[in-house]
Each structure stands twice: as structure tokens, then as C-alpha cells.
Amino acid sequence: MPDRKARFRLLLLVNIALILLAIYISLTNGVFDMTVMDVIRTLLRMDPVAEFDLVIFDFRLPRIVIAASVGFGLGVAGTVIQGITRNGLADPGILGINAGAGAAIVAFMFFFGGQFMEASWYSIMAMPLFGLTGGLLAAGLIYLFAWRNGALDPQRLILVGIAIGSGLGAVSLYLSLKMNPNDFEMATVWLSGSIWSANWTHIAGMLPWLVILIPVLMRKVHILDLLQLSEESVKNLGVSVEKERNILLLSSIGIVSACVSVSGGIGFVGLMAPHIAKRLTGIQHRYALPLSGTIGMLMVVAADFIAKTVFTPIELPVGIVISIIGVPYFFYLLSRRKK
């Protein structure tokens, strides 16, 4: 136990160091390069320069904060969803929860497009609620069709999730095609998973969800460990399985919806981060959950930097960059499960 705790702390420190390195590279590099001293002087308000203020506070820092928050949220939510379903291939994107939240937010953009484009407080605060509604609808449909003989069938879960995700993706595409050209362009980029329009208002709309719901999940890590046992065994230990599962699922959907509301459908983070974390630190969720969050954070911050710099002046959606890695990784996990 002491060895595992020491290993976890070391891994967490290494991961935080890598995140800080990624943030440093993202802050100082881009179309407009800056030195470390330029960044420090700007952040500490020592002899500030208007151009540096604009680049850091209006463009780069909001993107980094949103990328880090979204990565952490998706990593944590993916770990919980895999724990609830006892399926290592479960992921908010693959199960259709991203698609459900995305379809609801595209509907919001369709009916209130002008308000969304202006990034008003009303739209920013309302979008996660729309996302939560869509995510809950997707989760409800998944449970309905994947429930068999009084239990959740892990094999049907993936198939049903993919089918529902595809259907809700088609709804999103249909609604986006009915938008005016400006809103359509915004919706298309957003659906691919992009944080290029990040600003402090988006951050203020998303962070309360993470600040409230992530501690709820952290306090339930022992329940996640117990849920890896058979349902009868867990009930015999005095745990209210359905109640705990619902709390964990609702909290995860709330986190995913908040992330989708500001970044669109970034897939595979919730699939890869938990697997990497469990390989490094073991299956105990008290260690895997926070480590998975920091791994997701590193993935999205690094992918966002790649997306905005590699093909300059063209900027790729960050979701596409992560999918380039995520799709082969998904097939790798599928091949391992067949053995």
C-alpha cells in the first residue's frame, strides 16, 4: 500500500510537470512568439504591453484553461462511466452521451443562434443545462435498450451507444443544415470538437459544474471499487446499487455536458485516459480517478497546441487531433478483448 501511494504521488507529480510544460509551450509559441520573461511580466503586470495582454488574456490563456478543464472533466467522467458499466470500452463519446449533449446544444444554437454567437451570459449559462438534458436523454435510451434480465448488458451497451450516438449525430447534422450560414459554420467547427472561440465567459459557465460535481465523484471512489463486484455481492454489503449508480451517472453526465457546451464533441479522452491511468497506478479508483483527470488534461492541452500550430494558418479542431490517436487506440483495445 505505501509503495502504491508513493508510486501514485510520483506519477501525479510527473504528470503535473508535463502539464506545466505543455502550458508553457502553448503560452509562448504560436503565430506570435513570446519569451518566458514576456509572459511573466504580462501575468505579474510588470510593465505590461498591450499586444502581449491581448495575446495572453484574450486568446491563449482562456484556451489553455478550457482545454485543461475539459480534459480533466472528460478523463474523470470516462473513468466513472467505465466503472459503472464494468466495460473498458465505455466512453462518453462512444456511448452517445456526447452526441446527446451535442444534439441538445445544437438545438439551442438553432433556436437562439444570435445570442450564442454574442456569447451572452444567458446563452453561456443555459447551454450546459441543454447539454445535461440531451445527455440524460441519451443515457436513458441506452439504459432502456441495453437492460436485459434485470441487469445492464455490457456487450449490448456499446452497440446501443454507438447506434444512439449515430442517430443523435444525424439530428445534430440536420439542425445545423437548417441554420443560417454564420451559425452553420460555427456549429460545424464546434461539432468537430473545437475550443478556438474560448473566452472567460465560457469558463465561468463551465467551471461551477466541475467544481461541484467532481468532488461528488471523488467521494464515491470506494463505491466505484465495489461496483466492480457482482451486483448481488454489492447488495449483500449493504450498498444501494441503483441509487449509487444513478448518482455517479448523473454527475458524470453533468460534467460531460458542461465540457461539451464549451468544446463540442471531443471524443476518446474518456476512453484513453482511464486506461492509461489504470495501467500506471492500478485499478483502485482512489488513485486512478485523479490520475485519469490529469492525463486527460495533458492530452487536450497538448492536442490544442498541435491543432492551432502544426497547420498554420489553418487551424484544426482539437477533436480531430485526438481522434487521430484515439481511433487506432480503440481498435487496439478491441483486439485485446478478443484474445
Per-residue pLDDT of the chain (339 residues; tens, 9 = 90+): 567 888 899 999 999 999 999 999 998 887 777 888 888 888 888 877 888 888 888 888 999 999 999 999 999 999 999 998 888 878 888 778 888 888 888 888 888 765 444 556 666 677 777 888 888 888 888 888 877 776 666 667 778 888 898 899 899 888 888 888 777 777 777 777 878 777 888 888 888 889 999 999 999 999 998 888 877 787 777 888 878 888 898 899 889 888 888 888 888 899 899 999 999 998 899 999 999 999 999 999 999 999 888 877 778 888 888 988 888 887 777 777 655
Q: Is the pTM of this model over 0.85?
A: yes
Integer Cα distance of 148 and 79 in angstroms:
23
The CATH number covering residue 181 comes to: 1.10.3470.10
**Residue 117: per-residue pLDDT:** 47
Give the per-residue pLDDT at 221. Answer: 92
Residue 336's pLDDT is what? 72
pLDDT value at residue 79: 94
Are the beta carbons of 319 and 266 closer than 8 angstroms? Answer: yes
pLDDT value of position 310: 82
Place of cell 448481488: 232
In this predicted structure, what is the pLDDT of residue 337? 62
- Residue 233 near residue 100, CB atoms below 8 Å: no
Long-range contacts of 231-239 (CB under 8 A, 24+ apart): 231/151
CB–CB of 153/107 below 8 Å?
Answer: no
Helix (H) or strand (E) holding 3: helix 2-28
Q: What are the residue ranges of helices labelled H in 95-153?
A: 97-111, 113-117, 121-146
> Structural domain of residue 122, as residue ranges?
2-338
How far, in Å, CA of 262 to CA of 128, rounded? Answer: 8
CA distances from 310 to 48, 68, 196, 198, 305 (A): 29, 20, 15, 19, 8
Domain count, the chain: 1
Q: What is the pLDDT of residue 298?
A: 95
Q: How far apart are CA 246 and CA 265, in angstroms?
A: 23
